[in-house]
Every structure is written in structure tokens, then in C-alpha cells.
Structure 1
């Protein structure tokens, strides 16, 4: 199996060139991607919160990754329903929250890594929603800088 960074780099390059994405499903058989995904999500506060099953990050092992990959390879892997809990909001109402099982979080992170590496290079630099290193604050900063520049431009030529 190829190194996870190599696989993601190849996908990133294909996305940058606009080449088609083929045989992506077989990348789900690469244990290196699961280890990379594990490294990204194990420290989250929700990693120790059980979903429908009592499975948490504590039960993770290479054997468990092997079982997930085997289920993927034979198309037997099924996502479990998320456990629904309600947490209070500041206004006194309750907000629903879905708690997936640890295996589902791990598989979801692997899929996110693969798809993000392919599609991220093709996104506009003006796009800030749900992207790595970008968000509301970077969008507002860009708007403030752009509008300030155009306002100064307008003032310089309007007098």
C-alpha cells in the first residue's frame, strides 16, 4: 500500500489538473489513510463519547482497522444510526445532536480526506465555507480588505 500522503498528493494533483477521479473506492482499503484519520480525530472531545454502541477511541487498534477494511472490501460495512441527544441552548430550548459510533467517525474522516484532497484545489479562493484554514473570520477579513481598497479607489477618482 502507498503512503497516505502520497495518495492524497496524487488526488490533489488530479483535482488541480481537472482529471477524472476513478477507482476511489479502493483507496478505502489503505490502512495508512485510517491511521492518518485516527491521528486527526482521536484528540477531539467527542472521541470518548459513545454513540449507539459503547465503542470509543479506547477500543481502536490495527486489528479493528483491518476489520473495517475487510468489511469495506467485501461491501459489508454499514453505518450505524447516530445516537440522538438533546443539549440545552442559551435561550432555554433544546438542540438535537447526533453521536455516531467511533468506526463511523473514522470512516467518515477517511472519506473526507480523500474527497477534500481532490476537490480543494478546484474551489475558488473566494469560497470560505467549511474549508480547511478558512471560515467566517477569513471571509470577513477579505471583504473588509476588498471593500476598503475599492472605497479608496472610488475616493481617489471621484474628486
Structure 2
């Protein structure tokens, strides 16, 4: 597979020139993009907060990435429902907050990387 920076650079350049970006879904199978996404969201405070499952950033491995890629390749990946928590606001009201699972955060970051490029 190609390096993540190379893939994103090519997509950026095609976007600047107004060329179509075909087969973008195929890039979702690149493990390098998942490692780049992991590096970006790992330092976030919410990375260690469990979502609907007990899965967090600490349980991350190449096996998890390969499992997600395999599910994407066979079009079996489904986003899990987010865990809903209510956080108190300054003036006593509650604000709803959705906590997705770690793999959902990771896939979302990869999609964001591809679409922003």
C-alpha cells in the first residue's frame, strides 16, 4: 500500500486541478491511513473514554485495524450506536453528549482525512 501522505497529497493535487477522485472507497483499505488517523486522535482527552463498548485507544493494534479494513472491504462494517451521557452545564441544565466506540472514531477520522484532502 502507498504511504498515507502520498495518497492524501495526490488527492489534494487532483482536487486543486479539478480532476475527479475515482475509487476513493478503495483508499479505506489502506492501513497507513488508519495509523495516521490513530496518531491524530490518540492525544485527544476523549480517546480513553469508552463508548457503547469497552473499546478504547489502549486496545488498539494492527489486528483491530485489519479487522476494520476487512469489514470495510466486504461492506460489513456498521457504526455502533453512541452511548448517550448528559453533562451538566454552567447554569444547571444538562447537555447531551454522544460517545462513539473507538473503531467508529477511527473510521470517522479516516473518512475526514480523505474528504478534506
Which TM-score applies when normalising by structure 2? 0.99
How far apart in 2 are the matches of 1:85 and 1:93? 13
Listed as ranges, the gaps of 5+ residues in structure 2 are: none
Between the aligned partners of 1:24 and 1:114, the Cα distance in structure 2 is: 8
1:77 aligns with 2:77: yes
Aligned Cα root-mean-square deviation (Å): 0.5
Inter-partner Cα distance in structure 2 for 1:3 and 1:113: 14
Q: TM-score, normalised by structure 1?
A: 0.73
Q: Secondary structure at the match of 1:66?
A: helix
SS of residue matched to 1:80: coil
- Name the CA distance, whole Å, in 1 between partners of 2:44 and 2:103: 14
CA distance in 1, matches of 2:83, 2:18: 39
Q: Which runs of 5+ in 1 are unaligned?
A: 118-159
Paired position in structure 1 for 2:67:
67
Q: Which has the higher contact order (CA 8 A, sep 6+)?
A: 2
Is 1:107–2:107 an aligned residue pair?
Answer: yes
Displacement over 4 Å in runs of 4+: none
Q: Does 1:39 align with 2:35?
A: no
- State the partner residue of 1:19: 19
**TM-fit CA distance, 1:43:** 1.1
- Cα shift at 1:20: 1.2
Distance 2:16 2:92 in 1: 47
